[in-house]
Structure 1
């Protein structure tokens, strides 16, 4: 059985406290058995709420394909008179300062 998470503890505890107060105020009971019955009902309700809080979902890990770039691709054919530029810094690299 997995351990309860922090949100499950929080929702369950708040449910027990607030439902106990609400039932005691609404029923206006002062007898021992009445208070005990309300406390048991509040604990059961808190447990139900704590168990129905959605658990964080884990994402399924998919296998990453093994890429073989050198085997899958053919070498690029460059015409003899073509100029290949690496980017903006390429133009200043060949000049003498």
Structure 2
């Protein structure tokens, strides 16, 4: 598994803090069990956000045609088509 980027870590941490705060305020939980359940839910949500968020650099790298091989801003890259090799043409073998 690749290391998370700074943006992914930031989104995850912010999700944990904000969701924890919101759930605690909305639920009014006062007991240890209630607070623990909310904390676990917030951490789980933060991990899911950190794993699923895509950074702009990663999205560009995964997009087909991106990168140095795709050509320049002036036009598309060269398209390579494999040559067709025929062993027989109309019933006779090619020399």
Residue number among 35, 58, 69 corresponding to 1:62 in the alignment: 69
Change in CA separation of 1:32 and 1:63 when aligned onto 2, cut-off 3 Å: closer
| Poorly superposed stretches of 4+, deviation over 3 Å | none
Structure with the largest fraction of strand: 2
The alignment yields a C-alpha RMSD, in angstroms, of: 1.7
Q: Which has the higher contact order (CA 8 A, sep 6+)?
A: 1
* DSSP 3-state at the match of 1:62: helix
Normalising by structure 2, report the TM-score. 0.61
Unaligned runs of at least 5 residues, structure 2: 72-95
* DSSP 3-state at the match of 1:18: helix
Change in CA separation of 1:29 and 1:63 when aligned onto 2, cut-off 3 Å: closer
Residue of structure 1 in register with 2:4 after alignment: 4
* DSSP 3-state at the match of 2:3: coil
Looking at CA atoms only, which structure, 1 or 2, has the larger radius of gyration?
Answer: 1
Residue of structure 1 in register with 2:43 after alignment: 43
Query: What count of residue pairs does the alignment treat as equivalent?
Result: 64
Unaligned runs of at least 5 residues, structure 1: 65-97
